[in-house]
Structures are given as structure tokens and as C-alpha cells.
Amino acid sequence: MSKVYTIREACDILQIDATTLRRWDREGKIHCIRLSNNFRRVPEEEINRILGIKNNRIDAIYARVSSNDQKNDLHNQINRLKSLYKDAQVFSDIKSGLKFNRKGFLELLKLIEGNKINNIYITHKDRLARFGFDLIEEVCKIHNTKIIEVDGEEVSSANEELTKDFDIHNNFIFSEALRSQIT
């Protein structure tokens, strides 16, 4: 969560009177957070916006496929999103959506937690995660990051993709079971 300032601190930074800040809040010129005791707090982003300080947050594209056989699909996702969001930084993975230990995903997650990402552009929700998308969405909301789903054409159907993910997962479990029997 970003830093929040008391009315006095915000007024000192903005070099305005407290009545002006309260009036701006009533008029919607600045967004203040109200505490349970009805006191105001001013988010750092609002102060920066008023001062004209540009934030150092970036937009991101996230693309993922489950296997190397689908590399063309990965390039299609990236190219489609890049054509729409030219300045966005690309994060991608070739790994099952059932796993969260994906290099590109973890890199993106660290930037989200560091309040460095404005928007994440994806072709479909399942690109971020097969399961647990709601949790990722909540983490993004906490850090003021929006997930924007672009309805792109998927080369393989969702069922085919899910079947491949389960096959990869089942093969791993089966190989682990065999390995434990051998040793």
C-alpha cells in the first residue's frame, strides 16, 4: 500500500491551507481516504497528481502457454497485445497455468507488490492462472493494478489447454511415484 499523509502533512507538501484541501475533497478535485473517526488521509498518489509528478509505474503484458509445442500461440498472444499496447513491458512463460513458480509471472508479481505496475494486459484470465485468478486479482487491487482482459482469438480451445495442463501435472505425479518406488 502506498503512503498516506495527514491533512497537515499534505497541506505542508502542497503548500495550501487545510480548508482548501477539505474543499478540494468535497469538490472531488482530490481523493481523500476517510478513517473510521471521519479523519481524512491523503494518498501519496493524489499529492503527486496535484503536483504533476508522474509516477514511475509501467504497463505490462503477460502471455503464457503450457508447452513448447504452443510457442506460436505465445508469439500470437504477445504480438496481439503489443499491437494494442506498444509501450507495455512483456512478461511471458512456457509453463502450466496450474503452477505459480513461473519466472515471468513471479517477476511480474514482485513488480506488482512494489507498486510498479499500472495495468496488466492479458488475452484471457487463464493466462495468469488456471485456478486462483481471484486471489491474483485481489493482490492487484491492493496495489492499484488493473488487470485488463483483451478478448483475443485462442488457437487452442480452453479444454485442450486445460487437458494439457492436467497431463503435465499427472505425468509429474506419476514420475514422482515411480521414482519413490525405485529408490
Please provide residue 67's backbone torsions phi and psi, each rounded to the nearest 5 degrees. Answer: -145, 165
Residues annotated as catalytic are: 66
Q: Which helix (H) or strand (E) holds 159?
A: helix 158-182
- C-alpha angle 123-128-133 in degrees, rounded to nearest 5: 110
First-to-final CA distance of the chain: 48
For 128, residues 6+ apart whose C-beta sits below 8 A from its C-beta are 62, 64, 97, 105, 120, 122, 136, 147
Query: Do 100 and 135 touch, CB atoms closer than 8 A?
Result: no
